[in-house]
Amino acid sequence: MTTMMSVVREASHAGETERFVRAVGTERRRLAGLAYVLCGDRAVAEDLVAEAFARVWPKWRAGHVDDLPAYLRRALVNLVQGRYRSTGAPSTGATDSASSPASSCEASCGRRCYACP
């Protein structure tokens, strides 16, 4: 037997799914750009963005996310940091270390912080 609450719940989930799908469309490029700046490899950046969306989706669907773009950015940064911690390098791509964001950061401020322009 279908209750009114189950119908409302399903409609709510459909609306949440649509909002998340729209966010994927609007935030993907920004997140890919951020990931590229942080890791220096386009393919790795795209993978990290996909992983961020996959990790945020269950939390979004459960209603635990208030600001989706900010939550996605934080999830992405956490993924990049975790990757750096586990591998000891920002990416496994074949980027030239002299042109990577880490090298330019190290040259400008003397640290490997990934925050310098």
User: DSSP string of 103-114?
Assistant: HHHHHHHSS--S
DSSP structure class, residue 88: S
Q: What is the average pLDDT across 58-69?
A: 92
- Tokens standing for 49? 């963005």
- The Cα-based distances of 51 to 18, 46, 104, 107 in angstroms read 19, 9, 26, 30
- Tokens standing for 76? 């992405």
User: Best-predicted range by mean pLDDT among 66-75, 86-95, 108-117?
Assistant: 66-75
Pick from 39, 107, 29, 23: nearest CA to 78: 39
Looking at residue 57, what is its pLDDT? Answer: 93
pTM > 0.85: no
Cα 106 from chain centroid (whole Å): 24
